[in-house]
């Protein structure tokens, strides 16, 4: 979503106010000329108020988010902007009924069947709004957090057969990315695939949420196929101290997972401080490939020396 500067937002607010006044004056003129029945003018004015108030509330919340973001952080600024927008929408709603001379109590009491129908029709929207309010106060995540969302509503297709040796041992169906916005209806996540995803707040309230941060310690498994010409004890002895020197790696455990007729599979488990798995796995595999190549060259030279 395009972010407007504060000057542009103020300009848009003034445009909305001026447009509302001009349209109101036009309706007033048409009513005096008997083009529009006088009985309907209040409804026109109420509609102008409601639309204008909603737009202004949205624009003011964006100004609040932009101005406070540098002082109290993007997460707190988003929360205050959320409350500002919600209050603005409530004021717009109340003002609409006051302009048409209907009290809120009377409007709720007289809703009856129409209110029931509208309630059922808008239950998804309302659940998203209440979900957004719950997220605001419970704060399971905040703007700027990198999270993984796993939920049955957006299940992904995972293989039902055992994965091959070079794949992950388990799969978490979900979406991973950085939270960029929390609005009344949606939470926006900028995924690791560089695609923004908007997820309804009602689903976010029900989802399993994995929070990733710089202090996260995660187990990362890398697998590598080695020829049986190399003794596994020798390979592990040479490989382990090199992997332990990788920045962020806390523990290293190397074991033989399975064998074929001519090779065996090494499982290299690293416990590391890292938000992402790939950078650590990349370094582990690079070091492993280089070490295996050095050992193979050394073996070849020994065999030549013996012959």
Q: What was the pLDDT predicted at 42?
A: 83
CB atoms within 10 A of CB 92: 18
Whole-model pTM: value is 0.58
How many whole angstroms from its chain centre is CA 236?
A: 40
pLDDT digits (tens, 9 = 90+) for 110-123: 545 445 445 544 56
Three-state secondary structure call for residue 182: strand
The CATH code for residues 217-305 is 3.30.70.100
Taking the CA of residue 105 as centre, how many other CA atoms within 13 Å lie in the half-sphere pointing to its CB?
Answer: 0
Return the minimum-mean-pLDDT range out of 52-66, 122-136, 177-191, 253-267: 122-136
Q: What is the mean pLDDT of the chain?
A: 80
In the chain, domain spans: 6-102, 145-212, 217-305
Which one, of 244, 243, 196, lies nearest residue 224 by Cα?
Answer: 243
Containing 220, the helix (H) or strand (E) segment is strand 217-227
Mean pLDDT for 209-215 is: 79
* Mean pLDDT, rounded, for 1-12: 74
pLDDT tens-digit series, residues 160-190: 444 444 454 555 567 889 998 888 788 999 9
Q: What is the mean pLDDT of residues 259-269?
A: 91
Integer-rounded Cα Rg, in Å, for the chain is 31
**Do 229 and 266 contact (CB within 8 A), yes or no?**
no
pLDDT above 60 for 1: no
User: Where is pLDDT greater, at 216 or 84?
Assistant: 84
pLDDT at position 268: 93
- Residue 129, pLDDT above cutoff 70: yes
CB 88 within 8 A of CB 53: yes
């Amino acid at each position: 979503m395009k972010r407007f500067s504060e000057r542009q937002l103020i300009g848009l607010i003034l445009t909305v106010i001026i447009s509302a006044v001009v349209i109101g004056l036009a309706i007033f003129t048409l009513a005096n000329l008997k083009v529009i029945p006088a009985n309907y003018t209040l409804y026109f004015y109420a509609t102008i108020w409601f639309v204008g108030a909603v737009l202004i509330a949205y624009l003011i919340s964006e100004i609040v988010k932009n101005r406070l973001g540098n002082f109290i952080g993007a997460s707190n600024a988003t929360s205050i902007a959320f409350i500002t927008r919600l209050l603005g929408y409530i004021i717009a709603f109340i003002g609409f009924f006051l302009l048409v001379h209907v009290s809120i109590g009377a409007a709720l009491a007289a809703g009856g069947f129409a209110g029931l129908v509208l309630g059922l029709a808008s239950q998804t929207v309302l659940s998203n709004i209440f979900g957004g309010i719950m997220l605001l106060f419970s704060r399971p995540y905040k703007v700027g957090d990198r999270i993984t969302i796993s939920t049955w509503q957006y299940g992904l297709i995972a293989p039902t057969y055992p994965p091959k040796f070079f794949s992950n041992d388990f799969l978490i169906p979900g979406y991973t990315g950085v939270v960029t916005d929390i609005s009344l209806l949606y939470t926006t996540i900028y995924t690791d695939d560089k695609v923004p995803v908007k997820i309804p707040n009602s689903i976010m309230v029900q989802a399993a949420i994995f929070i990733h941060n710089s202090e996260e310690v995660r187990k990362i498994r890398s697998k590598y196929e080695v020829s049986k010409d190399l003794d596994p004890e020798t390979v592990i002895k040479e490989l382990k101290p090199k992997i332990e020197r990788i920045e962020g790696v806390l523990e290293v455990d190397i074991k033989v997972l399975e064998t074929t007729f001519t090779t065996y599979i090494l499982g290299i488990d690293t416990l590391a401080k890292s938000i992402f798995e790939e950078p650590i796995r990349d370094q582990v595999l690079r070091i492993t490939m280089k070490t295996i190549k050095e050992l193979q060259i050394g073996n070849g030279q020994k065999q030549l020396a013996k012959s």
